[in-house]
Amino acid sequence: MKGMYTWSAILVIVFASVVGDVLLARAMKQVGDVGALRRRAGLGVVIGRTLGNRNFMLGVLAMAVAFFSLLFALSWGDVSLVAPAAASLTFIGNAVAAKIFLHERVDRRRWIAASLVAAGVALLAG
């Protein structure tokens, strides 16, 4: 029963951080190349445009949800299960979500990279 709580919390963490990462990535693509924008318009414009972006704010909110569900999951399950499981599933989830929602060209090279990193993270923290 406790295991089911822990795994549901892990799934919530993964879902919230994938949503957060996708929203933040989309927001920053809308803001545009930060380096070029800063040279052209100054740092104030960069910060203003970032904080004024709706996707950015929703992304930060999703990240906060992920953070607090991590705290809950850690109080139910072992850190050696929760942290690596959440981190490595997030890598895979992000690859899928970036392909569907951000239209990134996730080719074989990137699938292999995401899977190797996910497996490595699971081993490292396990």
Partner 1 sequence: MTFRKYLVLAGVTLFAAAGDAMLSHGMKQTGSISLNHLQGVIFAILNPWVAGGILLLLAFFATYMTALSWADLTYVLPSTSLGYVLLALVARFLLHEHVSPLRWFGIALITSGVGFVAGGPALTEHGHEFAEDSHATEVGAGSHLLAKDARNGARVEL
Closest CA relative to residue 122, chosen from 85, 97, 90 = 85
Is 103 a residue that touches partner 1 (CB under 8 A)?
yes
- Is residue 104 a contact residue for partner 1 (CB under 8 A)? yes
d(CA 100, CA 66): 21
Q: Within 13 Å of residue 109, how many CA atoms lie on the same side as its CB?
A: 2
Q: Three-state DSSP class for 53?
A: coil
Nearest Cα to Cα of residue 21 among 113, 112, 110, 101? 101
Selected from 22, 62, 73, 85, the binder of partner 1 by CB under 8 A is 22
Residue from the set 9, 12, 13, 24 that interacts with partner 1 by CB under 8 A? 24
Rule CB under 8 A: is residue 32 a binding residue for partner 1?
yes
Q: Which is nearer to partner 1, 3 or 80 (CB)?
A: 80
Does residue number 54 form part of the binding site for partner 1 (CB under 8 A)? no
Residue with structure tokens 């704010």? 57
- The answer to the question of residue 66 lying near partner 1 (CB under 8 A) is no
Q: Measure the CA–CA gap between 96 and 16, rounded to whole angstroms.
A: 14
Q: Rule CB under 8 A: say whether 45 interacts with partner 1.
A: no
DSSP tally for the chain: helices H, then strands E: 6, 0
Nearer to partner 1, 8 or 115 (CB): 115
Residues of this chain that interact with partner 1 (CB under 8 A) are 21-22, 24-25, 28-37, 50, 91, 94-95, 98-99, 102-107, 109-110, 112-117, 119-126
